[in-house]
C-alpha cells in the first residue's frame, strides 16, 4: 500500500469535503460495512474508532478511492478536493533520505522544485513542532526516531496541502504523551487550514481528544461513539490494607556495562537509579512511566530476573541474594511473574496443560503427579477458560486466551504475590477490561499483593492502591493511587494523565536518550515549568502531602 494516495483534484462543489450515503462494502455476499452515512465539513476532525477488524481501514480506503481487491462497493461516497491517505504503519520508503522523499512527493503534487519543496516541508515541520535542530533531512526514515518519523510523515501531508486527510492508526506505537501531542498539532492544523481530517484507531487510542466528531464502527455499522465506550472503573476502593510489609527493596540499582573509557574506567548505562520500594500485604502497587522509564527493569530486578546490579530485595524478610537453592525455589513459587506478551512467554512446543503441569512439578513437587491434571483444569476454569484448553497448543490461542493462560500459569503454584510487567499490552480495551476482572478477582480472593507496570496511567491508577511514577530510572512521584489520579503534582505525571484522557500533553519533544541524559532534572528539555535551576540539580523526592512525594523543584509553582 502506498503511504500517500495519489492526489485527486476535483472541481469545487458545495458538498462537504467528505460525505457517504449508505456506503456499503461487501466481500462476496458478506457485508463488511453496512450502509454507512457520514458528513465531514472543511476544518472538522473526526475520530473513527473500532476494534481490530472493525472495518476502519476498509472505510478509509473506500473514501480514498483505493478499495481493496475483492471488495465491492454500493451506496455513495464523495470526497472533494485533494485527498491523502496515511496508511497504517505510516510507511515511507525506509532507505531513501527524507529530503528526497519530500522533494518527490511535494514536487509531484504541487509542481515545486526541490528547494521550494524543502522550504514548504520545513514550514510543515514547524507546524508539527519539530525544532530546526532536530531535523534530519539527510537521513532515511528508518534511521529517525519513531516520533520524528511520524512528525515528518504528518508534515509531508501538511506540505502537500490536501483538502481531506485520512489517517489510519496515526502515530501508533508512540508513547501516549508523544502521540497525543502530535495528533493535537495535526488537528489544530486541520481546523486552521479548513482541512477535513479523519483519525482512525482503536477506542483506547485517545483519538476522541483531538476530534470534534466521533463515530465508531461496530459489527459493520457506523454509529455515534458512546459517551464512554469502555468506562474505566471507579478508583480502587480502600481494601483495608494490612500494612504488613511483604517485600522491601533498598537502593535497588540496575545498570549495564558500556565498555571502557579511553582512561580505562568502566562506563555503565544506569536504567534504574538507587531507589527504595515497599509492598504491603494485599496491596496493589503500580509502576508507571513512558517507554524507557525503567519500570520493566525494576519489576524484573525485584524478581531477580536478573538480580539488581546493586541494592537488596527482600521477600518476607529474606534477602533474595542470600537465598540458597531451596530457598530460592520457595521464593520463585511465592513471587510469580506475568510478562508483556503472554503468547511469546509460552513454550510453542508444549500444550497448555503440559506447561501448567510442568510449573506444578517444578514449584509444587509435593502435589502427586496424578493430581496435576485436576489442578490444571481448576486453574484454567478459575481464569474463565474451559478445562479442555489444556489440550491446546499456544499457537491456537488468541491474545485474550493467551493472557488468561499466562495468568493461570502464574496462579497455579498458589503464589503469595504477582509481579506483572505490562501483561495487558497486547489486548484491546474490551479485552483488557475482562482481563482486569480476572486479575482483580484472583487478587481479592487470595489477598495477593500485586506489582504491575503499565504505561496506561489512568487505567493503572484506577486499579491500584499506590503508585510510583518513574522517569529515566528515577521515582518522580509516589503516593496513593487516588491522590495521583486527582491531584498529580509532577508535570510528567500530569502530562501522562492528560494524554490518557485524550488532551494535549504539556510536554514538548521526546524522552531524551538514556545514553545522554540532560543535566539536572531529566524532564527539563520537555517541561513547560523548567527554569535554569532545573539544569543544576536532580530534584529529590519531597513530601507534598501525607504519603504523597514529588521530585520537582517547582511542584508548588503554577
Closest distance to ligand SF4 from the beta carbon of 253 (Å)? 21
> What phi and psi, each to the nearest 5 degrees, are found at residue 417?
-160, 155
| Contact status: 509 vs ligand SF4 (CB under 6 A) | no
Nearest CB to ligand SF4, comparing residues 156 and 534: 534
Stretch of residues binding ligand SF4 (CB under 6 A), selected from 131-139, 154-162, 371-379, 517-525: 517-525
- Omega prior to 306 cis, within 30 of 0: yes
Among 144, 523, 544, 549, binds ligand SF4 (CB under 6 A): 523
> What phi and psi, each to the nearest 5 degrees, are found at residue 554?
-125, 35
Neighbours of 486 (CB within 10 A): 11
Look at the alpha carbons of 175, 345, 232, 224 in this order and tell me if their dihedral is positive or negative: positive
Stretch of residues binding ligand SF4 (CB under 6 A), selected from 30-38, 200-208, 412-420, 547-555: 547-555
Nearest CB to ligand SF4, comparing residues 222 and 483: 483
Q: Which residues on neighbouring strands pair with residue 18, listed in sequence order? A: 40, 79
**Angstrom distance (rounded) from CA 137 to CA 117:** 12
| Contact status: 539 vs ligand SF4 (CB under 6 A) | yes
Closest distance to ligand SF4 from the beta carbon of 487 (Å)? 16
Q: Which residues on neighbouring strands pair with residue 74, listed in sequence order? A: 24
Among 246, 407, 497, 530, binds ligand SF4 (CB under 6 A): 530
Closest distance to ligand SF4 from the beta carbon of 290 (Å)? 14
Among 206, 308, 406, 491, binds ligand SF4 (CB under 6 A): 491
| Contact status: 524 vs ligand SF4 (CB under 6 A) | yes
Residues with Cβ < 8 Å from 467, sequence gap 6 or more?
285, 286, 287, 288, 460, 461, 477, 478, 479, 480, 481, 484
Please give the C-alpha separations between residue 143 and each of 148, 157, 379, in angstroms, as whole numbers: 10, 20, 46
Closest distance to ligand SF4 from the beta carbon of 293 (Å)? 14
Q: How many residues bind ligand SF4 (CB under 6 A)?
A: 12
Closest distance to ligand SF4 from the beta carbon of 544 (Å)? 12
**Angstrom distance (rounded) from CA 503 to CA 183:** 10
**Angstrom distance (rounded) from CA 19 to CA 192:** 21
DSSP strand E in 398-541: where? 417-421, 450-454, 466-471, 474-480
Nearest CB to ligand SF4, comparing residues 47 and 521: 521
Nearest CB to ligand SF4, comparing residues 409 and 524: 524
Closest distance to ligand SF4 from the beta carbon of 528 (Å)? 8
| Contact status: 521 vs ligand SF4 (CB under 6 A) | yes
| Contact status: 527 vs ligand SF4 (CB under 6 A) | yes
Q: Which among 417, 251, 420 is positioned nearest to 321, based on CA atoms?
A: 251
| Contact status: 534 vs ligand SF4 (CB under 6 A) | yes
**Angstrom distance (rounded) from CA 216 to CA 202:** 9
Residues with Cβ < 8 Å from 201, sequence gap 6 or more?
47, 48, 49, 56, 168, 169, 170, 172, 207
> What phi and psi, each to the nearest 5 degrees, are found at residue 299?
-60, -40
Closest distance to ligand SF4 from the beta carbon of 545 (Å)? 17
Nearest CB to ligand SF4, comparing residues 187 and 507: 507
**Angstrom distance (rounded) from CA 73 to CA 77:** 9
Binders of ligand SF4 among 54-73, rule CB under 6 A? none
**Angstrom distance (rounded) from CA 400 to CA 427:** 7
Nearest CB to ligand SF4, comparing residues 183 and 523: 523
**Angstrom distance (rounded) from CA 529 to CA 522:** 13
Closest distance to ligand SF4 from the beta carbon of 553 (Å)? 4
Nearest CB to ligand SF4, comparing residues 89 and 131: 131
Collapsing DSSP to helix, strand or coil, 71 comes out as: coil
| Contact status: 505 vs ligand SF4 (CB under 6 A) | no
Cα 264 → chain centroid:
40
Q: Which among 199, 111, 121, 210 is positioned nearest to 157, based on CA atoms?
A: 121
DSSP 3: S
| Contact status: 463 vs ligand SF4 (CB under 6 A) | no
Stretch of residues binding ligand SF4 (CB under 6 A), selected from 15-23, 122-130, 204-212, 522-530: 522-530
Stretch of residues binding ligand SF4 (CB under 6 A), selected from 181-189, 392-400, 498-506, 524-532: 524-532
| Contact status: 353 vs ligand SF4 (CB under 6 A) | no
Closest distance to ligand SF4 from the beta carbon of 458 (Å)? 20
Among 184, 456, 489, 553, binds ligand SF4 (CB under 6 A): 553
Show the cell assigned to 376.
490444571
Binders of ligand SF4 among 19-48, rule CB under 6 A? none
Closest distance to ligand SF4 from the beta carbon of 148 (Å)? 22
DSSP 392: S
Among 423, 510, 529, 544, binds ligand SF4 (CB under 6 A): 529
Show the cell assigned to 56.
476502519
Closest distance to ligand SF4 from the beta carbon of 492 (Å)? 6
The site for ligand SF4 (CB under 6 A) is made up of 491, 521, 523-524, 527, 529-530, 534, 539, 552-554
Amino acid at each position: 500500500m502506498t503511504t500517500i494516495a495519489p492526489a485527486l483534484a476535483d472541481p469545487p462543489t458545495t458538498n462537504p469535503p467528505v460525505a457517504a450515503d449508505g456506503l456499503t462494502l461487501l466481500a462476496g455476499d458478506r457485508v463488511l460495512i453496512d450502509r454507512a452515512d457520514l458528513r465531514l465539513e472543511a476544518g472538522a476532525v473526526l475520530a473513527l474508532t473500532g476494534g481490530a477488524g472493525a472495518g476502519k481501514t476498509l472505510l478509509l480506503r473506500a473514501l480514498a478511492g483505493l478499495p481493496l481487491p475483492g471488495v465491492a462497493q454500493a451506496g455513495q461516497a464523495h470526497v472533494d478536493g485533494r485527498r491523502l491517505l496515511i496508511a497504517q504503519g505510516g510507511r515511507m520508503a525506509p532507505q531513501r533520505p527524507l529530503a528526497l522523499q519530500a522533494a518527490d512527493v511535494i514536487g509531484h503534487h504541487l509542481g515545486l522544485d526541490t528547494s521550494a519543496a524543502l522550504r514548504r516541508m520545513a514550514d510543515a515541520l514547524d507546524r508539527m513542532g519539530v525544532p530546526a535542530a532536530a531535523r534530519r533531512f539527510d537521513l532515511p526514515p528508518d534511521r529517525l526516531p519513531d516520533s520524528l518519523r511520524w512528525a515528518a510523515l504528518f508534515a509531508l501531508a501538511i506540505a502537500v496541502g490536501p483538502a481531506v486527510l485520512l489517517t489510519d492508526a496515526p502515530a501508533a506505537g508512540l508513547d501516549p504523551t508523544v502521540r497525543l501531542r502530535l495528533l493535537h498539532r495535526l488537528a489544530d492544523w486541520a481546523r486552521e487550514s479548513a482541512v477535513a481530517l479523519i483519525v482512525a484507531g482503536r477506542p483506547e487510542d485517545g483519538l476522541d481528544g483531538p476530534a470534534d466528531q466521533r463515530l465508531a464502527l461496530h459489527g459493520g455499522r457506523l454509529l455515534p461513539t458512546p459517551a464512554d465506550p469502555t468506562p474505566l472503573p471507579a478508583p480502587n476502593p480502600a481494601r483495608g490494607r494490612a500494612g504488613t510489609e511483604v517485600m522491601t527493596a533498598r537502593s535497588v540499582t540496575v545498570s549495564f556495562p558500556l565498555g571502557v573509557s579511553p582512561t580505562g574506567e568502566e562506563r555503565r548505562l544506569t536504567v534504574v537509579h538507587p531507589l527504595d520500594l515497599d509492598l504491603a500485604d494485599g496491596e496493589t502497587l503500580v509502576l508507571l512511566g513512558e517507554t524507557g522509564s525503567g519500570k520493566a527493569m525494576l519489576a524484573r530486578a525485584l524478581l531477580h530476573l536478573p538480580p539488581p546490579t546493586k541494592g537488596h530485595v527482600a521477600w518476607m524478610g529474606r534477602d533474595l541474594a542470600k537465598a540458597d537453592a531451596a530457598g530460592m525455589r520457595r521464593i520463585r513459587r511465592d513471587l510469580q511473574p506475568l510478562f508483556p506478551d503472554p503468547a511469546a512467554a509460552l513454550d510453542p512446543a508444549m500444550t497448555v496443560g503440559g506447561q501448567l503441569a510442568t510449573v506444578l512439578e517444578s514449584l509444587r513437587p509435593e502435589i502427586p503427579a496424578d493430581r496435576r491434571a485436576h489442578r490444571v483444569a481448576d486453574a484454567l476454569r478459575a481464569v474463565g477458560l474451559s478445562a479442555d484448553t489444556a489440550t491446546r497448543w499456544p499457537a491456537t490461542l488468541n491474545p485474550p486466551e493467551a493472557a488468561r493462560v499466562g495468568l493461570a500459569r502464574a496462579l497455579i503454584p498458589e503464589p503469595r504475590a504477582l509481579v506483572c510487567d505490562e501483561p495487558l499490552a497486547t489486548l484491546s480495551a474490551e479485552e483488557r477490561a475482562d482481563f482486569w476482572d480476572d486479575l482483580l478477582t484472583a487478587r481479592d480472593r487470595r489477598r495477593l499483593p500485586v506489582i504491575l507496570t503499565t504505561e496506561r496511567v489512568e487505567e493503572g491508577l484506577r486499579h491500584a492502591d499506590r503508585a510510583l511514577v518513574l522517569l529515566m530510572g528515577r521515582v518522580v512521584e509516589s503516593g496513593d493511587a487516588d491522590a495521583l489520579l486527582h491531584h498529580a503534582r509532577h508535570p510528567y505525571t500530569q502530562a501522562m494523565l492528560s494524554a490518557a484522557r485524550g488532551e494535549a500533553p504539556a510536554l514538548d519533544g521526546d524522552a531524551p536518550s538514556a545514553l545522554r541524559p540532560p543535566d539536572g532534572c531529566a524532564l527539563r528539555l520537555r517541561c513547560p515549568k523548567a527554569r535554569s535551576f532545573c539544569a543544576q540539580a536532580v530534584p529529590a523526592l519531597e513530601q507534598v502531602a501525607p504519603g504523597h512525594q514529588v521530585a520537582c523543584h517547582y511542584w508548588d509553582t503554577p
